[in-house]
Amino acid sequence: MSSSGADSWTFGPARKKRRLPRLPSWARLAGFGALVMALVTVSIPAAALVSDTGTYDITVADKNHSAGPLTLSPSGGTVEYIGSSAQNQASGTGLFDPFVRLQGGPTEKGYNTNGAVQFDTKAGTWTHAIKVSAIPIVDCDGSGPGTATCWELFNDINESNTAKRISLNVVEIWFTTNPNLVGYVDPTGFPSGATKEYEFDGNILINDVNQGSGRGDLRYLVPTAGHPFTSSDYFVLYSKWGTTTGTAGNHGTGSYASDGGFEEWKVRKAPNVSIVKTANPVGPVNAGTDIGFDITVSNTGAADATNVTISDPLPPGGDLNWLLNPAFSGCSITGSVGSQTLSCTFATLASGASKGPIHIKSATTADDCAVVSNTATVASGNDGGGSSTDSVTVNCGALVIKKESTKTGNPLVSNAGAVFSVTGPGGYSASVTDNGATDEDSTTGQVCISGLAPGSYTVNETSPPSGYGDASEADVGVTVANGTDCGSNEPTGTAAVFTNAPLSDIQVNFRDGGSGETSATISCDNPDGTQSTTPATGWDTSDTETDVSAPVTVTCTIQIDP
């Protein structure tokens, strides 16, 4: 028998996956890019060992025919024989990874390990330890995502042209953390160091009509349900061939003993596409500072990934406007502000290659103060893909304005209604009224505004409250700190303080006592306020001083000239 080496996988034209009707086995193989496959660590409840048994006849008359899949009982896995001409298939090392080769007769048995081989196992590159995570996972019945999944195994059967029949009688799957596992005892298995997850003990009847090696003659699916594993677990496959007695069968002649040709278990070299999204900068950041994310997609599998796509609905925030920085070939951002999406398409992502980082960024304002979270998803034509999420905190702060009286101790003013103008970073400008709609502090004489970008602000009083004079302060600076708000984290150590004097009115009056002979002059030395000398009703002479700022001493002189 000759080896074909790195043949290509050519099961015919690719076909899209459909829910209904169910595709025949060969069509599902032909469209392996549409299979739901992922090299991932699953985490599911452990179940009892599944032990399949029974006789399954997948003999065919010639290479123009295939047989199966036949459902294994009770697991629900399948087994099928793939006629090379019927499906134009090849499985050379270019697309497949052989991990255990057996050669012996009339029976043969063995398992894969990096340690010393046992029984009829052939040492060499075709026998080695393999991680559970490297075994492709497909949907068991080909009907698409959401259905049961199976590990997909192939075997290249190499019986002679004159003795084509052979039987597969035992298949066991063991999990171990030891890549050099040895010590199998037939028929009890490994005494320690491994856990049996699956076993088949029966008769799978095969007529190896395909010519040459480098074929995926046998396809064997084992359900994954009930078999949790971690990234450190290895997949050990023990198989035994040629023990079926008798010659009954649908096709071929002779017994089902091995004639000494090799049988080689292998798996498809599959891509393993993953995506990582990270905030850059990691934050937290102050409102008014740019935020961004880096996206990197990688293919750690053994085969190239095709038609790799990234979809990333970008977070709207308050007014976030995203752009690629710098531009990245194959990627674009579409949509209006508030509903933007990053989309990328790469025809091929080679084995071991990556794309990125793809950097997106947006400016921020006080409207964006929150945790900004973003999820990007990658998919490909021949791998299931995945998603990644990260977030960044945009910090804001609060500003407090105190309106104090000039009275001793500087208490807060008694009347609401003072109006202030506030300017700050990024062109921020606002007007706020004490106890008005935008004042988040209900205390009279104290104003609080939250959701501000941290930084330096300037505050001015534009109108005092009723009963008070103008403030003596102007252009009062205050710093807004990260993480402050108008609730439990209201800033207490910093505030824009304005002092206002409470106002009073003074009136001094004179009138003649009835003689008609007296008159008077009145003068007050009030330094502020407004003076009126219009006589009050019923008086001859008045001096009225209004809006007198307290505290102050006002001296009024009355000169009476009889």
The answer to whether the CB of 171 falls within 8 A of the CB of 205 is no
More confident site: 18 or 264: 264
Q: Which helix (H) or strand (E) holds 416?
A: none
pLDDT band at 482 (very low <50, low <70, confident <90, very high): confident
- Please tell me the number of Cα atoms within 13 Å of 13 on its side-chain side: 2
pLDDT given at position 141 = 81
Instruction: Please state which of the ranges 25-29, 69-73, 247-251 shows the lowest mean pLDDT.
Output: 25-29
Question: Is the model's pLDDT at 32 over the cut of 60?
Answer: no
Between β-strands 496-500 and 165-176, what pairing exists: parallel, antiparallel or unpaired?
A: unpaired
pLDDT given at position 15 = 31
Question: Is the model's pLDDT at 21 over the cut of 60?
Answer: no
Between β-strands 370-380 and 305-313, what pairing exists: parallel, antiparallel or unpaired?
A: antiparallel
- Identify the CA nearest to 476 among candidates 501, 503, 450, 494: 494
> What is the share, in percent, of the chain residues with pLDDT greater than 90?
63
Determine the Cα–Cα distance for residues 368 and 443; give it in Å rounded to an integer. Answer: 27
Task: Give the residue carrying structure tokens 């009954």.
Answer: 248
Sequence ranges of the domains in the chain: 25-268, 273-394, 397-500, 503-561
More confident site: 302 or 354: 354
The answer to whether the CB of 165 falls within 8 A of the CB of 255 is yes
Query: What value does the CA radius of gyration of the chain take, rounded to a whole number of Å?
Result: 43
- Please tell me the number of Cα atoms within 13 Å of 38 on its side-chain side: 16
pLDDT given at position 226 = 87
pLDDT given at position 118 = 97
What is the dihedral sign for C-alpha 466, 470, 473, 475? positive
Determine the Cα–Cα distance for residues 303 and 95; give it in Å rounded to an integer. Answer: 7
pLDDT band at 538 (very low <50, low <70, confident <90, very high): very high
Question: Is the model's pLDDT at 426 over the cut of 70?
Answer: yes
Residue type, 409: G
Question: Is the model's pLDDT at 543 over the cut of 60?
Answer: yes
pLDDT given at position 55 = 96
More confident site: 300 or 441: 441
Determine the Cα–Cα distance for residues 280 and 488; give it in Å rounded to an integer. Answer: 30
Determine the Cα–Cα distance for residues 424 and 449; give it in Å rounded to an integer. Answer: 12
Say how far residue 273 (Cα) sits from the centre of its chain. 15
> Which are the contacts of 21, defined by CB distance < 8 A and separation ≥ 6?
none
* Ordered DSSP codes for 386-402: EEEEEEEEEE-EEEEEE
Between β-strands 305-313 and 455-463, what pairing exists: parallel, antiparallel or unpaired?
A: unpaired
- Identify the CA nearest to 413 among candidates 462, 458, 470, 459: 470
Q: Provide the whole-model pTM.
A: 0.55
273-394 shares its CATH topology with 397-500: yes
pLDDT given at position 48 = 65
The answer to whether the CB of 455 falls within 8 A of the CB of 364 is no
Q: Which helix (H) or strand (E) holds 87?
A: helix 84-87
- Quote the CATH superfamily of domain 397-500: Immunoglobulins (2.60.40.10)
Question: Is the model's pLDDT at 187 over the cut of 80?
Answer: yes
pLDDT given at position 86 = 66
pLDDT given at position 40 = 36
- Please tell me the number of Cα atoms within 13 Å of 304 on its side-chain side: 8
DSSP code of residue 269: -
pLDDT given at position 19 = 32
Determine the Cα–Cα distance for residues 152 and 380; give it in Å rounded to an integer. Answer: 19
Instruction: Please state which of the ranges 21-25, 140-144, 373-377 shows the lowest mean pLDDT.
Output: 21-25
Q: What are phi and psi of 30, to 5 degrees?
A: -60, -35
Q: Looking at residues 415-430, what average pLDDT do you find? A: 93
Determine the Cα–Cα distance for residues 409 and 416; give it in Å rounded to an integer. Answer: 19
Question: Is the model's pLDDT at 30 over the cut of 60?
Answer: no
Residue type, 69: P
pLDDT band at 269 (very low <50, low <70, confident <90, very high): confident
More confident site: 527 or 182: 182
> Which are the contacts of 158, defined by CB distance < 8 A and separation ≥ 6?
1, 208, 213, 261, 262, 263, 264
Q: Looking at residues 261-278, what average pLDDT do you find? A: 91
Q: Looking at residues 459-464, what average pLDDT do you find? A: 96
* 345-403 per-position pLDDT tens digit: 999 999 889 999 999 999 998 788 889 999 999 999 877 688 999 999 998 899 999 99
* Ordered DSSP codes for 126-186: TS---BGGGS-EEETTSS-TTS-EEEEEEEEE---SS--EEEEEEEEEEEES-TT----BT
Task: Give the residue carrying structure tokens 């090696």.
Answer: 213
Mean pLDDT of the chain: 87
Instruction: Please state which of the ranges 79-88, 114-123, 326-335, 516-525 shows the lowest mean pLDDT.
Output: 79-88
- Identify the CA nearest to 273 among candidates 296, 300, 306, 295: 300
Q: 273-394 maps to which CATH number?
A: 2.60.40.1530
